[in-house]
Structures are given as C-alpha cells and as structure tokens.
Amino acid sequence: MTSYEIDPTGVYLALSGVAGHAESLAAAGRGFGTAGRRAEAALRRCGVVADAFDAFLSPREDMGDRLARNLLRKSDAVVDATAAFAEADGAMSAAASTAMSQVNADLALDRRAGGPEPH
C-alpha cells in the first residue's frame, strides 16, 4: 500500500519560490518589451527594417507576462490539489477510525456472546 504525507510548509515554500520566479519572469518580459520598443524607435528611419522588427516584436512583447500568469495558474492548481488531498486524507482517517471502532465493538459483542476469540 502506498502512503504519502503532505507537508503544508514545504508546499508553501515551494509555491513561494514559484511566485518569485513568476515575478522575475514578468519583470524580464517587461524589460524585453521596453528594450524592443527602444530598438524599434532607433530603426524608424529604416522603414522596412523597422516594420520587420515590429512584426517580430509585437506578438512577443507581453510573453513574459503571459508566461508568468500561466505559471501562477499552475501554482493555483497545486494549491487546490494539495487542499483536496489534505481534506480527503482527513475524511479517510475519520472513516477508518469509525470503521475500526465498529469492528472493535462487534468483536467485543461476539466475545461476550461466546463467539470465537481473535487470533
């Protein structure tokens, strides 16, 4: 049987690191966009080159922000999964305790009624 243990502190620390990386990624993406727009402004006199550079840069300009948002959404999914596992673990423990209490009560009743002793 497989067992697991959720370490909420470990999950929190890991996700805090992910959030920090996401913010760094977003900042780098903003820096890329700013540098790209400066390069585009410097190339304005070269119309064809400026147009080509704009065509390259425009769809990528917010890439850092998009990647960071995606990373944070994935982190939210890990938070949700961790909470669900912890809740299920509590429910399973409660159900197992209830079942074992019933088994123990049934065995005690059997012994009092002259039933077989457990081995």
List, for residues 34-82, the tens digit of each pLDDT value.
888 888 888 888 888 888 888 988 888 888 888 888 888 888 888 888 8
Q: Is residue 117 part of a domain?
A: no
**Helix 8-42 / helix 63-112 crossing angle, nearest 10 deg:** 170
pLDDT beyond 80 at 29: yes
Q: Is residue 57 part of a domain?
A: yes
Q: Is residue 63 part of a domain?
A: yes
Q: Is residue 66 part of a domain?
A: yes
- Mean pLDDT of the region 115-119: 58
Give Cα separations from 98 to 2, 33, 79, 117 (angstroms). 21, 60, 29, 22
CA 23 to CA 68: how far, in whole Å?
Answer: 7
Q: Is residue 103 part of a domain?
A: no
Its domain, for residue 54, covers: 8-87
Q: Sort residue 59 into left (φ over 0), alpha (ψ -120 to 50) or beta.
A: alpha
pLDDT in the model for residue 119 = 57
Q: Is residue 105 part of a domain?
A: no
Tally of domains within the chain: 1
- Mean pLDDT of the region 79-102: 77
Q: Is residue 116 part of a domain?
A: no
Task: Tell whether pTM > 0.85.
Answer: no
Q: Is residue 15 part of a domain?
A: yes
Quick one: pLDDT band at residue 117, thresholds 50, 70, 90?
low
